[in-house]
Chain A
Amino acid sequence: MHRYVIKRILLLIPVIIGVSFMIYFIMDLAPGDIITQLVGEDASEEQIMALKHQYGYDRSVFYRYGKYMLGLLHGDLGTSYITKKPVWDMYITRLPKTFWLAVGASVVAIGLSIPLGIVSAVKSGSLIDNSCMVLALLGLSMPNFWLGLLLIIEFSLNLGWVPSGGFRGFSSVILPAITIGTGHMAVMTRTTRSSMIDVIRQDYLRTARAKGVSERKVITKHAFRNAFIPILTIIGGQLCAGIGGAVITESVFSWPGVGRLIIDYVHQCDVPVVTDAIIMTTIITGVIHLAVDLLYAVVDPRIKGKYSRKGIRRVRVKKEAA
């Protein structure tokens, strides 16, 4: 198990190098530059040259990238060209807000989709099933900016229950979490349904029922646990997407999260902020996926065996025997 975890973490290194390389070069190819952002269109030639020298823009992009990576290796994420603040400080201020939004959206999505998916699978082909699927389709089809605005108008403007935007404590998480969660809910409901339908038809469930196990227990304990792995994969993926930042929802709700940090600073050509924020998101995504992989073992003991050295050896022996 430990070897597996270490291997997965080490695999993140080439991923980070690849991602940083791509972002750095894409930012360099994009039109405009940080110098214009800093001194404006009216700057003199001397000012422009001095700034180009200061930020290494009088040298090749490879030189700048090398210098940046050297800093990264020493744990220095660099300083924003625009705010002059350490990028780490800027990122870490935004991360908790994005984290709460991602978790809130996942809670909404899981809380709605799993019951709907299970009911839909159990009552497959019925009116309830069709209604659940229509609901899921609706969630998938509604654009976030539209749903977000509708929720703001109803719950903030008309009812005055929650603030319209910004990060103002728990109450401000509710509307953006519902907005993002509704879209996630749609995908998860459909996945839960199809996964449950596959499992429900298995022989061992029929055996359990024949043994007199209650239907509720059959579904929740025996069927759902076996159907959970694909759902867990989706949850992990959606949590990663949330941590990366839901730009549109963050804009509608004026949410000071990572998504808006990246977008705002892409427009201003602030390379260190954009590159670092994406690298941090890559690392978090890698860790979440690793956690999801490890959770497979908790859900399904057969997978746990495969992670251990014995398990790996057993698989090899079986292959050789075959």
Chain B
Amino acid sequence: MKKLLVSLICVFLICGFVFAGGSGEQKSASAGEIKYKDSVVCADGSQITTGDPQAINNLQHNRLFKCSHNTLVSYNTAEAKYEPELATSWEWSPDLLTLTLKLRDDVTFQNGEKFTAKDVEYSYKRIMEMNSTASSKFVGVLDHVEVVDDYTVKLVLVKPNVDWLDTLALPLASIVNQKAIEADELKGPWIGTGMWIITDLEEGDFVHMVKNDNYWGEKTETRELTLRYISESSARLIALQNGEVDVCIGPASTEKSYVLEDPNLELIEIPSATCCYFAFNTSKGPGSDENLRLALAHCINYDDVILGASSGEGTRAITNWGPITYGYYDGFGDYTYDLELAKQYLAKSAYKTLTISVKDSARLRAAQIIQANAKEIGLTINIEELEAAALTAKSAFKTAEHESMIYTLGWNSYGDDASRAYGKGSNTNKATLSDDRVMELLELGRSCTDDTQRKQYYAEIQTLNHEHAWYLPLFYTELSVAINKGVSGVIWEGHQSHDYSRIEVSL
């Protein structure tokens, strides 16, 4: 019996030794004196399901598409300006309805096909016909595409939209190749003009890419790039600690100390564009009463909310607008913590109870703190915990049934992104706002080319929100990434669509 046990243990130990895996081969490639890893692995907690940039629009997919595909223009967040990518220059028509772009003539797709204006026409038509999350950015905005010649294209819009360039910079507006898609409907969209060629995609596991040696732009020393899905945050960090991966997105806040203590690792804190805020349903019920809204605004202890909901790792938000979003304004200041003032507002309100709908533990904790704060002024708050899909359905603009909710919005950099939170009919408009002045300001902002004037429009929207307390800004979440100390070349973005395309890891 003993022999059996001993042999079993030995078999496992031997197997462990023989097959022990690591981060794979780490052959070095020289670039001057610095040596780099051939193969780099980035780990994320969300899975990648497709290599088609036009089928989906979310963070983990955006990181992939920034590697495999290119857009006509790109947005430089650090310098807050648009830069050429597949387009070399662009020009607006005086009526702001037509954007003419000159394209690069030295670009080939990963299948060897030459990139021309027809690919732009095909790609954008495909987006509009796909009925995907990407399509909603194009349908009703882009009227049609005109191919002027092989390297000139005109994009004709339905109505003026000065933020159109930003849409073109999103990974969902990546250019795909018609021939590749017609030959293989599933893997054809993987073919782009980017630095990395997708060779293998196993949803629920990884995406493997190899360097495109025919890439038109500046190349990296790395030869292989893998994006791995590790859903559990502790396991993700351990994979970084033992060298299996080089980048770990979102380590748990309780485990950040391990990163700080490890001399081989580095913790990157990125100012986040994600705002957590309180939204009243202003169309009916208690949320339609401005006095109740202001009463709550003045009784919340915002620091406690940050401490409870995000372990103190958040920044106080004065407006619910994205901090990197065009038109950010906080000149009106904070709501003062003033229980007497809050009681006065509540006395004027016909409502003494309010229900908050939440969907996850962080927001539940925030709601519980607000509940305790409100109790001090005599406002009873009920908390309703719902599953994500149920809350989405309950808070849809047309059929909104919620009284209030705590919502988190990841903001993009362009001004018209405010239409999501404030636009009439938008399902992200959790306050179900349809205020005429706000709608007018959004429309004016969308078609205004005067920078100062446009910023004033957006400042007025935020000031109106502060006065009427439709949304109560709570905090901006903090974004952390743990990396191998040798990692360089990544563009870390506050909206989390990081650009790994030029990643290198020095040995």
Contacts and interface: CB of A to CB of B under 8 A. Distances in A.
Q: Do A and B come from one complex?
A: yes
A164 B20 contact: no
B21 A32 contact: no
A25 to B, nearest CB: 17
A36 B232 contact: no
B232 A251 contact: yes
Contacts of A36: 389, 392-393
Nearest to A97: B205
A256 B49 CA distance: 12
Nearest to A119: B1
Contacts of A166: 205-206, 228, 230
A162 interface: yes
A153 B238 contact: yes
Contacts of B1: 115, 118-119
A162 B20 contact: yes
A110 to B, nearest CB: 10
A42 B426 contact: yes
Contacts of A162: 16, 19-21
B242 A43 contact: no
A30 to B, nearest CB: 7
A233 interface: no
Nearest to B386: A31
Contacts of A111: 4, 8
A13 B24 CA distance: 46
A50 B136 CA distance: 13
Contact of B20 (A41, A153, A161, A260): A161
B140 interface: yes
Given A40-B57, A170-B19, A164 B387 contact: no
B420 interface: yes
A260 B204 contact: yes
A165 B235 contact: yes
A156 B242 contact: yes
B133 A115 contact: no
A112 B231 contact: no
Contacts of A264: 47, 204
A251 B386 CA distance: 23
B427 interface: yes
Contacts of B242: 156-157, 160, 164
Contacts of B229: 254, 256
Contacts of B4: 111, 115
Given A83-B49, A168-B21, A47 B135 contact: yes
B389 A30 contact: yes
Contacts of A237: none
A44 B390 CA distance: 20
B213 interface: no
Nearest to A111: B8
Q: Which of B8, B47, B204, B231 has the most CB of A within 10 A?
A: B204
Q: Which of B1, B22, B205, B230 has the most CB of A within 10 A?
A: B205
Contact of B388 (A32, A46, A260): A32
Nearest to B419: A42
8 contacts: A43-B427, A111-B4, A149-B234, A155-B16, A163-B244, A165-B230, A174-B16, A254-B230
Interface of B: 1, 4-5, 8, 12-13, 15-22, 47, 49-50, 52, 55, 57, 131-133, 135-136, 139-140, 185-186, 202-206, 228-232, 234-235, 238-239, 241-242, 244, 386-390, 392-393, 396, 420, 426-428
